[in-house]
Amino acid sequence: MGLESDGGACIVWLFVLDVVEVLVFSAIYFLFLASTKQEDKKLYGQTYN
């Protein structure tokens, strides 16, 4: 019983770490996209004004 519960806890912990990693990566990715879009808007505004 003890080994099984420990193994399950390890699997859950790894799963949680994976989810957190994905969330952090996607948050950074979306921030990067947002910043590049803002840069595009600046360039777009400069060329058409």
How far apart are the C-alpha atoms of 49 and 37, rounded to whole Å? 18
pLDDT at 25: 96
Instruction: Say what the pTM is.
Output: 0.54
Q: How far is CA 32 from CA 5, 11, 13, 26, 37, in A?
A: 40, 31, 28, 10, 9
Spatial separation of the C-alpha atoms in residues 45 and 25, rounded to whole Å: 30
Domain ranges of the chain: 21-49
pLDDT at residue 36, as a whole number: 85
- pLDDT tens per residue, range 1-49: 455 566 778 888 899 999 999 999 999 999 999 888 877 777 666 766 5
